[in-house]
Every structure is written in structure tokens, then in C-alpha cells.
Structure 1
Amino acid sequence: MNTLAGIPGAACEFYAELEQNNNREWWLAHKDQYHDLVKVPLEAVLAQLMPVFGDAKLFRPYRDMRFSLDKAPYKRAQGAFVSNYEGVGFYLQVSADGLLLGGGYRSFSPAQLSRYRSAVDATASGEALARIVENLAMAGFTIDGQILKTVPRGFVRDHPRAELLKHKTLGASLLPGRPEWMETANLATEVAARWEQLRPLVDWVIRYAPP
């Protein structure tokens, strides 16, 4: 297999079948497919991206079922997080739906959350983040994260950046699906271009609300 030729479409088919057969017997019978179609190609792409975007962590394919009503043992997607900062960085995933790319922060220690809210509240840094988020939305990214129903205590309800203050975590994602470049040597270049669009968000968090 050419590990520099992107991620094969068969990786998506693997996850489509897994959704219908999420059990140990099926997984063991198809584990080699996971290795060859998903893990190895994704690791090859991440290796190309790491020098610019940071160290890569490939998540385990096994689910933590201790606190879940859904007892399916395997994740329905393979994700990877790329960063030089704990909890702040870039995301890449492959599933039955194809590729998903993202960036932002997913950790929310009390100290970090306090720094984030203070920076959103401050005029200069808060307006800068609002512009970043608006630009990403206009570029087709979905703004996501863990969000409170109301503005947190200590801030007025009609705050000009009330929606950003509600965020406990903040990210943006894009679902290109199965574009033609997914299976080519251009995959890393295409992912990098979209991560560069996300870099202002990641850099803002690193500057104003580091872990």
C-alpha cells in the first residue's frame, strides 16, 4: 500500500459496515482492514502535517463504556488531535461520512475557563475573537463546543459577546465528506490549507486562554 496516497474510500466503507456490526467478533475478523485502510494511511498523513502543526495523537478505536448506555465497543470514527499545547489544536477524523476537520480547544479547567471569559469580556481580545469566529462561519465552518444555556454569572445578559461567553469549549469544524483529494497524495496539503484557516482561532486561545 502507498501510504502517501491519502486515505482510501474503503476506509469510509469500513466504518459504514462497523456501524451495522459493532461487536467484538466482527472487529477481530476485520482488524487488518482497520490497520491497512484507516490507521496506516492516517498516520502517514499526520506525519506530513506534524512539522507545521505539532505532535499528533491518534485516538484509540475502543470506546469507554463505563458510563454509557450505548454498549457498542468500538468508535464509529477514527480521530486524531494535532497540537503542541494540551487540549488546544487541530482535529482530523475519518468515518462513514468521510473526512471531518476542526480546530479549537476542548479542555476547560476552571483556570482556563476564567482566562477565556476574561479575554472574551475585554474589548480588544473579545472583538478579535468575534471577528475570527465570524470569518470561519462565513467560510463554511460550523462553530461548536460545549455551550451554556445562559450567560455565566458575573456578566450582563446583553453583553455584546454573550454567545461567546456561553462557551465552555470552543471549536470550529468542517465536513468535506469524501472529496476527490481524499484518496490522493494531495490530502495533507488540502488538510493543511483548512487548518491554516483555523489557525487564528487556535492562536487566539493559546495567547489569551492557554491551558
Structure 2
Amino acid sequence: MNCRYPRLPLASLLARVLLVAAACPMIATAAVVRCQLPDGSTLYTDRRCSDLGATLQLTFPDSDADSDANTGARTSTRARARTGLYRRGCARNLPDLMLRISSAIDNHDTNLLAGVYHWAGMSGRRSKTVMDRLDRVARHPLVGVVPVMAGVTEDPSVGDDSPFDPHSGETPVALRIEQTLDNGVTPSNTVFGLRRHFGCLWIQG
């Protein structure tokens, strides 16, 4: 008995092939994933969440703080960061992002620092390099997090001591992480670019 199978139109077949081909790069670049551990904390890793007894997180809940208007609010938000509650949201604005970075470094928490990095579309090799860089930043003592404006020369010998005014209308293009090495004396600066994605603000570069 001869069996006949329906023949797909060429256009339909081509569409299916292109769909599969388009999905392949996404699979290849899915290196760092966001996992939720049983205790509710967040972990960023290039392994499967199930291997660590964790659950894959595909969405970012709303930030629990839109802005810090005064010192009391900043203190409260920093306290939430130290207890791990601050990890549940993403940074919606620059003060929020700067506070998250400060808290991550103060706690020497590489995973918390990785939580504000823009990982989308990154290859496995590149993500490993970035994680190593974030780990070095998280281990060194923090002096300050400084917004960098467009056109500012990032020369460590040329400093700008004027404070950032969030109401000035200027838009920072990067953040400079000012630190010291383990001896507490030698300065060490790291610059990350800024990127807004899905309503949140991230560091990159």
C-alpha cells in the first residue's frame, strides 16, 4: 500500500526553516540565566537552574522603590538590599541603580551586582569574562558610584568633584565605580555604560 503525505507549499516550508534558523542563535547565546533559590534569593549562573535545586525566572517583577527622596528613604532601601528583599525588582531609575550597585559591592555580592547587568544576547565566552570582571569589582572596597556625562574625559587624573544633580536635565551615559585595591590606598576605577531595556536601567560594557 502506498502512503501519500501532504506536500507543503514551498513558501510554507521556507518559513518553517527560517523560523528554526532564527531560534538557533537564541539558544546558542543563552549563557547566563536568572534562577530563584528555595529561600527566595536570586542567583545568576550559566548552569541549569534545576541542577542547583532552583527555578528559572523569566520575568522581572516591578521595582519596590521608584526613587529615594531623602536620607531616610536611602537608609531604608539599603537595609532592604542587605536582607535580600531588594533583589526582587529591577532598577527603574539612576538613583535606584546606583544604590543597588553600592549595596552589592558593600556586601561583596557578585550575584547581586550581576543582577543589574544587561546580559541579553551575550555569548557564553563573553558572559564568563563579564562575570570575572564583576567578581573583581565586588571584592574591592567601594569609595563611590559617580554618574558620567557625555563628553567627559574618563582620565583618573582628571576628576570632577561636582555632585550629580538629578534635576539638572543632564542624562548620564555611564557610571564610574570608584574603589581602592585591597591595600585600601591604591585607587581603582571601573566604568560601565548605561542601557534602558524593558523599562529598567542596566549597566553594560
User: Which category describes the TM-score, using the shorter chain as reference length?
Assistant: under 0.3
CA radius of gyration, larger in: 2
TM-score by length of 2: 0.23
- Which protein has the bigger helix share? 1
